[in-house]
Amino acid sequence: MPEAEAARRVEEIIERRVRCGDPDREKLCDEPVELVAYLVAHQRVPAEALRCDALDALVLLEYARRAVPVLPGRLDRLEHRVLTLGIEAGLSLGELAVPLGLRSRQAVQHRLLRHAAAERGASRSEVAERAARRAETRERAWLDRHGSDLLSCAGRLLAHRDLLAGAAAAGGPAFGTSAGAVSEAAPGAEAASEAGAEIAEAFDELAESLSRVPADPRDPRHAARYVTRTRHLAARLRLLLADLAATGATGATGATAATGAAAAVPAGHPVHALLARTARLAAAHQSAAAPSPPARSRP
């Protein structure tokens, strides 16, 4: 890639952004890599300008790989964002292949998969990335069917925060016994009190996670955030349920039969059925989100 060609692309990008009234154009620069970083960060221009920007940016990245002293990892991350920008702006994989010097749309797809794997912190494996994407598709399908139930259970469970934290702190005395009375009489009450405080803190963390889940998962602007934050919420739920089980507050499996500290909660209390349903949903979500095991080769 001649330096003169890179300079021409830089000039075209700057002139295009000025012509279309880019509101951020005072931040434009003429250094190739920083200009590409600018393009992916500032997209308040028409789609046609974005399509041209993406093609020119890929040319500049190819030039930078050979002529600009910059970490390859940064160029890879920028390339991934430029390719994503081009696709979102309406470019085909075939059109994106040309400035990359690739011969087919499949080659662009493979490069996207490798970039995505690296973004996840995984090895640059197309096979692994395809498996991760299949798992994400399964997870999204599960959330479409059961996500609202999972969130509802989390919200209803928060209403029982004091009851379950008190049960963990009480360590299993008869219902209605105060934690203060237990701390004076029962051996190991100090540890039980600490367990109750930890359960209360876990509930507070669950409430914080629930508050961060977007209200409308059907809004395309929030779709990715909804999946990520619901995943985080489900993980919080599983940790909370495990902590409750460890203190005896829910029984070994979250079933309605109470043992240990759950003796502080009457057997017919609705929290038992709620805990059991929440545990089933959280486990089902974990199963849906787990990557499939690699296929075994035939002997």
Radius of gyration of the chain (CA): 27
- Residue 77 near residue 41, CB atoms below 8 Å: no
The whole-number pLDDT of residue 120 equals 60
Using CA atoms of 254, 260, 263, 267 in order, give the dihedral in degrees to the nearest 10: 30
Tell me the pLDDT tens digit for each residue of 63-75.
998 888 877 788 8
Domain parsing of the chain, residue ranges:
3-124, 132-289
Check whether 252 has a pLDDT greater than 50: no
Tell me the pLDDT tens digit for each residue of 30-72.
999 999 999 999 999 999 999 999 999 999 999 998 888 877 7
229 burial level (CB within 10 Å; 0-12, 13-18, 19+): middle
d(Cα 296, Cα 2) in Å, to the nearest integer? 48
Among 66-80, 125-139, 228-242, the least confident range: 125-139
Average of per-residue pLDDT across 251-275: 60
Q: Percentage of the chain surpassing pLDDT 90?
A: 35
Which DSSP category does 256 fall into? S
* Look-up of token digits 């959330």: 143
Band (6; pLDDT cuts 50, 70, 90) = very high
Give the closest residue to 57 by CA, choosing from 27, 87, 34. Answer: 34
d(Cα 225, Cα 233) in Å, to the nearest integer? 12
Check whether 222 has a pLDDT greater than 90: no
Which amino acid would we find at residue 46? P
What would the DSSP string read from start to end of 78-126?
HHHHHHHHHHHHT--HHHHHHHHT-S-HHHHHHHHHHHHHHHTTS-S-H
The whole-number pLDDT of residue 114 equals 81
- Residue 17 near residue 52, CB atoms below 8 Å: no
The whole-number pLDDT of residue 17 equals 96
Check whether 96 has a pLDDT greater than 90: yes
The whole-number pLDDT of residue 29 equals 93
The whole-number pLDDT of residue 112 equals 84
Band (157; pLDDT cuts 50, 70, 90) = very high
What's the N-to-C CA distance of the chain in angstroms? 48
Give the closest residue to 267 by CA, choosing from 250, 284, 279. Answer: 250
Band (21; pLDDT cuts 50, 70, 90) = very high
The whole-number pLDDT of residue 132 equals 61
